[in-house]
Amino acid sequence: MSPPAAAMNVERQLLLSEIAEFNAAYAHCIDDDQLEQWPEFFAEDCEYQIIPRENVDLGLPAAIVFCDNRGMLIDRVVALRKANIYPAHYSRHVLGAPVLLDADGRGLHSQTSYVLMLTRMDGETRLFSAGKYVDVMVRIDTLLVTPI
């Protein structure tokens, strides 16, 4: 590679590494049941959606969860804590390496595959969900994320 190409590659790999670190910290936050910290991974004007794969493929925008600011995420945690004082299960996320898709005025676009396991209090671990994060990330002091 020519020097500028090499420098660009170094920059790109650093960025991927930072995104991987951010994603891993995000997943540990949930798995460690530190849900009160979870909204802090998002920008104030974030967008958080969970969309079933069938809907994505059919071009249907219907999300089963839709939040379009950080306050809604905080509300979700409060509601969850009220409904369940103690967790009924432990969660464990394992994430693949991120892929950098694009960078534009909105931020860095990346996607990351995940598998989510739940372990019940009786010790049984089962596969709960597998899918991908489709993220737009912006840097605000520290790195913040806007999953879509």
How big is the CA angle at 141 (ends 40 and 72), to the nearest 5 degrees? 25
> Which part of the chain contacts a second copy (CB under 8 A), choosing from 40-48, 58-66, 77-85, 107-115?
107-115
Q: How far is the CB of 131 from a second copy (least distance, A)?
A: 6
Closest of 63, 61, 127, 67 to residue 92, by C-alpha: 127
By CB under 8 A, the residues from 110 to 139 that bind a second copy are 111-115, 117, 119, 121, 123, 125-132
- E strands, the chain, are 48-50, 65-67, 89-95, 99-104, 107-120, 125-140, 142-147
Q: Name which position in 25, 60, 78, 79 contacts a second copy (CB under 8 A).
A: 25
- How far is Cα 132 from Cα 36, in angstroms, rounded to an integer? 23
Question: How are beta strands 65-67 and 99-104 bridged, if at all?
Answer: unpaired
Does 23 contact a second copy by CB under 8 A?
Answer: yes
Q: Name which position in 43, 51, 90, 107 contacts a second copy (CB under 8 A).
A: 90
Residues of this chain that interact with a second copy (CB under 8 A) are 9-10, 13-14, 16-18, 20-21, 23-25, 27-28, 31, 33, 52-54, 57, 90, 92-100, 111-115, 117, 119, 121, 123, 125-132
